[in-house]
A and B are shown apart, each in its own frame.
Chain A
């Protein structure tokens, strides 16, 4: 019996952590399928989370595929579905279908240095590839993370980042100076230029607000990174997640299916409609 691609599998929320409070709240959810093993995923893939009665939302899976105990999603409270998710409690049931998308081509990056550049909630999509690379540290070159948020309160994965500093190079930043903040003050692209990462044998993976990505790519180009060395994820309104409803269609691609991971070289060839 073929599984119906539109029917989500039920999953229980086993942990909710508030990363950021306030108006632009971010919570991290860990979920477990109620009926056996849901699916395996690749870094960078997403899943459609269902809140029955409200709708579905495409969220990137931020846990590494090496983690088999749960799937992790970090969700910014944005609209109808994400607000409903934020109201949920541990033990509540949601629907999950997936995994969708092309994922990061981690295999092609073996032996290379990996430079992760994230802003705000953008750390979540690259978290899975960062954790996977970290777990297989020997297979890659140096790992570096340049991450920033508006204020220190808007930083996600605060505890994990503190722990990460022991394992790899981490540069943090916030937009405006705060008392007690000793690291870089300014926008993420400015921090990139400040740290001057060398392009040789490096892959840069960036994710964050569209305006940040635009200027990060510009900064990387200024640092002589080539188009095919820069990777990002594209966000688009999605409904079916399987390339049929037409909503995320850009050029010959459906972002849900052929993306959301694109190298800058590939993205430049697509119509600029995202």
Chain B
């Protein structure tokens, strides 16, 4: 299955006045357009963009863009068992996601990079058709971060940046009253060409300002993990049996916030949901699952290889910062900061990883 086209060689750079953004969205009528929307508590989440209300002055969405490509619930197949004339027939029908071209506006670079990591997970020896049907129909329009969306951003220390282009089809940079629009793929170009008249050529000052905005943004990121990719992975490898995990996981509630809101977490469950017993009719459904739930790894016999919170916290950090690194040479965490900011008990993986780096030194 082909992955989305990467750089076509004809990358475009344009300027779009901010006030023209709703008009652009209006022209994208052959796509369902999502954009961030604010709720009463000043929190943002993706919602279908009303063309008159779309704006990109947002911080970061609680649910990452992954939720629109890899949803909480997805139907794999339907089964129907009928008995006719003493013969039982069993019909199993594949249910692929329908045709629904989607554009997501306001994808932060950390979220987009995470999606490119998910692309790796869902391809390989076995290609996941459900993920890819949605992925191929989704165009990601990113917004570079002028200031870090919140204090706990640390993308710079996970090989990312507030203006990273990885995984995106277009990168917008906010220049005050206008956006600098950089198309990165054929799909990005397609979107821009839909409303050609709204876009202007950039002036040299614009290009200079973009560089300045990007550089400034990098300076504003305050947090970061001390360990560098390979060093941290090596350090972790030696700390599998450390009592650190028990100490750091004492307040863990074993909920799903850190994993469900993580843009690169992908663990899932597959269950059969029966709509009627006779005739047997139901669906096989994929739902999000996560390694922090106590029965994630529990065998039918009751044996649980990860029976305590320490081993589960360790698994999460090792998967992101060692296993994935040693398999794909990429850090699976993209430094979005959601788990740090939204953990109900304040478990801070930046702090935990710094303890790992400091260990023994």
Q: Evaluate whether A244 and B122 lie within 8 angstroms (CB atoms) in the complex, with A52-B282, A273-B305 already known.
A: yes
In the complex, A79→B302 CA distance in Å?
A: 10
Chain A residue at smallest Cβ distance from B90: A93
In the complex, A267→B189 CA distance in Å?
A: 50
Chain B residue contacts of A250, Cβ below 8 A: 305
Chain B residue at smallest Cβ distance from A257: B125
Chain B residue contacts of A82, Cβ below 8 A: 300
Q: Evaluate whether A237 and B298 lie within 8 angstroms (CB atoms) in the complex, with A210-B303, A244-B122 already known.
A: yes
- Tell me the chain B residues, 283-339 only, with Cβ under 8 Å from chain A: 284, 289, 291, 296-301, 303, 305-306, 311, 315, 318-319, 323, 326-327
Is there contact, CB below 8 Å, between B269 and A2? no
Q: Evaluate whether A52 and B92 lie within 8 angstroms (CB atoms) in the complex, with A245-B268, A252-B327 already known.
A: yes
Is there contact, CB below 8 Å, between B267 and A247? yes
- Interface segment out of the listed A5-13, A109-117, A154-162: A5-13
A200 within 8 Å of B by Cβ? no
In the complex, A7→B272 CA distance in Å?
A: 13
Chain A residue at smallest Cβ distance from B77: A7
B76 within 8 Å of A by Cβ? yes
- Tell me the chain A residues, 227-274 only, with Cβ under 8 Å from chain B: 235-237, 239-240, 242-247, 249-252, 257, 271, 273-274
Contact of B126 (CB < 8 Å), options: A235, A244, A247: A244
Is there contact, CB below 8 Å, between A52 and B126? no
Q: Evaluate whether A52 and B272 lie within 8 angstroms (CB atoms) in the complex, with A6-B77, A236-B305, A237-B298 already known.
A: yes
Chain B residue contacts of A90, Cβ below 8 A: none
Q: Evaluate whether A244 and B272 lie within 8 angstroms (CB atoms) in the complex, with A52-B81, A235-B299 already known.
A: no
Chain A residue contacts of B92, Cβ below 8 A: 7-8, 10, 52, 95
Q: Bin the interface of chain A by size.
A: 35 or more
In the complex, A4→B124 CA distance in Å?
A: 14
Which residues of A are in contact with B by a Cβ distance under 8 Å? 2, 4-8, 10, 50, 52-56, 78-79, 82, 92-93, 95, 210, 235-237, 239-240, 242-247, 249-252, 257, 271, 273-274
Which residues of B are in contact with A by a Cβ distance under 8 Å? 1, 76-77, 79, 81, 88, 90, 92, 94, 96, 121-122, 124-130, 240, 266-272, 274, 277, 280, 282, 284, 289, 291, 296-301, 303, 305-306, 311, 315, 318-319, 323, 326-327
Supplied contacts A55-B271, A240-B270, 17 more A-B pairs, CB within 8 Å: A6-B129, A52-B81, A53-B81, A53-B277, A53-B280, A78-B300, A237-B297, A240-B268, A242-B126, A244-B126, A245-B267, A245-B268, A245-B270, A246-B267, A246-B291, A246-B319, A273-B315
